[in-house]
Amino acid sequence: MKSNIEAFLDLVKERNGHEPEFLQAVEEVAETVIPYIVEHDIYYGKNILLRMVEPERVISFRVCWVDDAGEIQVNRGYRIQMNSAIGPYKGGLRFHPTVNMSILKFLAFEQVFKNSLTTLPMGGGKGGSDFDPKGKSDNEIMRFCHAFMSELFRHIGPNTDIPAGDIGVGAREIGFLFGMYKKLRNEFTGVLTGKGMSWGGSLIRPEATGYGNVYFAEKMLETKNNSFKGKDVVISGSGNVAQYAAEKVLQIGGKVLTLSDSSGYIYDADGIDAEKLAFVMELKNVKRGRISEYLESYPNAKFVKGKTPWEVKCDIALPCATQNELNEEDANMLLKNGCICVSEGANMPSTKEAITAFHKAKILFAPGKASNAGGVATSGLEMTQNSLRYKWSREEVDNKLKDIMADIHKSCLEYGKDDDGYVDYVKGANIAGFVKVADAMLAQGVV
Ligand code: NDP
């Protein structure tokens, strides 16, 4: 078995040696899926995983725009159309200076499995730019988004590829992107998700990734007759996913101790309650400030510069910022402090070594492709509402989201249970996601 996995990974490394994040994501999947392929004749010998690691199409383009000082700026834009076996490409756009081919290919690859897990008919894709939105004026953001879409529009469409937001792309950016798409195509279609409520957006979409992560963690805790009630919860990030994860934790009786951004974390021993969270939402979403400014209003809290919050004692940890933000040392610290559950809101926030430590300690651990799938699932619901030209109520969408997260949890149990009864959610999510896509690829032949 080992040689099968090694031979496969050697080949992928040979072709993508300069893409460490992509290789990390592929390795995690290969280690759990290849043993399954070997045991199942219908998949064996068809190079199915080799086909899945090769994007169906990679688009790379120049984005030129003019800043407020009249200077011409040049950025790189990308769209990775990874796999369309079960539906049109679907996945977010990330605007962040670290964006490159490796990061986007890892995200697109994860997206294929995640979208399959949602049970909705969506293929996987991802895109973005090395553009840094931090410190830019609204007009600069608009000019960049318009320039980006003036090329991307020819590669996407409501039945081809439907992007959404991710790091650095929220409601404001989706608005500007949609405006330019509509102008160039002269059609009003559901080509992007995460749209505003008055022009085709779905209720609960902004909340969906954070809420969904907490619904998934609740399901995991239920298997141990446990819940969020009275639990200390440590959250990283202070963007879309972190904010709504915190909101849901508060609603179901947990205590939120931390939030963070790339400059450090805040620790509020009294708990970040609903009023304090509203302050954070205004600070991050409207004023576009830094998390350290929390202390100006709540001086009892602490700001720890340049660090992640995993050293704070907690029962539950929700990493909701970015990839590889929780390493082996952090994992050991969480375990030493008695953490019983880690549920990823971000994509691949835990390193491979950190995941091994969680598995060894046999705590509840959910990989992002399962636990943060609520975002794309609700994007899928937005697409359905756009096609029907209809709008479901907040409660209807929230109930559908809850059901989807419960279904994903069930799939993980089906494929992830070890002989001793421990649930390996990584294995469960990878195999469940793989089976649906692989079956569709086999049915469609070698294309
Ligand atoms: P936002 O841009 O809204 O927020 C990102 C947060 O993470 C900010 O607090 C940001 O801090 C922090 N962050 C970003 N990069 C780093 C870094 N290198 N080191 C430390 N902190 C960092 O993004 P989202 O909340 O939408 O996304 C967060 C994660 O969730 C990402 O991994 C994303 O892929 C994933 N995700 C998002 C979904 C969605 O629906 N939005 C769906 C599924 C997954 P700062 O402001 O300082 O950069």
Specify the ligand 1 atom closest to the Cα of 242. 25
Instruction: Return all residues near 131 (Cβ < 8 A) that are at least 6 apart.
Output: 63, 75, 95, 97, 144, 148, 168
What was the pLDDT predicted at 157?
98
Please work out whether the CB of residue 194 comes within 6 Å of at least one atom of ligand 1. Answer: no
What was the pLDDT predicted at 318?
99
Ligand 1 atom 3: residue of nearest CA? 239
For 420, which DSSP code?
T
Ligand 1 atom 22: residue of nearest CA? 262
What was the pLDDT predicted at 446?
97
Q: How far does residue 402's CA lie from ligand 1's centre (Å)?
A: 22
Specify the ligand 1 atom closest to the Cα of 261. 11
Q: Of the candidates 168, 397, 191, which has an alpha carbon nearest to the alpha carbon of residue 284? A: 168
pTM: 0.97
What was the pLDDT predicted at 309?
98
Please work out whether the CB of residue 238 comes within 6 Å of at least one atom of ligand 1. Answer: yes
- Residue 436 appears among annotated catalytic residues: no
Instruction: Return all residues near 185 (Cβ < 8 A) that are at least 6 apart.
Output: 153, 157, 191
Cα gap 37→63, rounded to integer Å: 42
Positions of the chain with pLDDT lower than 50, given as ranges: none
* Contact call for residues 302 and 266 (beta carbons, < 8 A): yes
| CA dihedral sign, ordered 18, 22, 24, 30 | negative
Cα gap 39→425, rounded to integer Å: 19
Cα gap 319→178, rounded to integer Å: 30
User: Which residue ranges form the domains of the chain, and what is each CATH number?
Assistant: 54-189 (3.40.50.10860), 208-361 (3.40.50.720)
What was the pLDDT predicted at 1?
65
pLDDT tens column, 181-223:
999 999 999 999 999 999 999 999 999 999 999 999 999 999 9
Please work out whether the CB of residue 345 comes within 6 Å of at least one atom of ligand 1. Answer: yes
Active-site residue, selected from the candidate residues 13, 105, 126, 183: 126
Please work out whether the CB of residue 344 comes within 6 Å of at least one atom of ligand 1. Answer: no
What was the pLDDT predicted at 436?
98
* Contact call for residues 104 and 127 (beta carbons, < 8 A): yes
For 445, which DSSP code?
-
Strands in 255-261's sheet, in edge-to-edge order, are 302-305, 264-267, 255-261, 232-235, 316-318, 341-343, 364-366
What was the pLDDT predicted at 206?
96
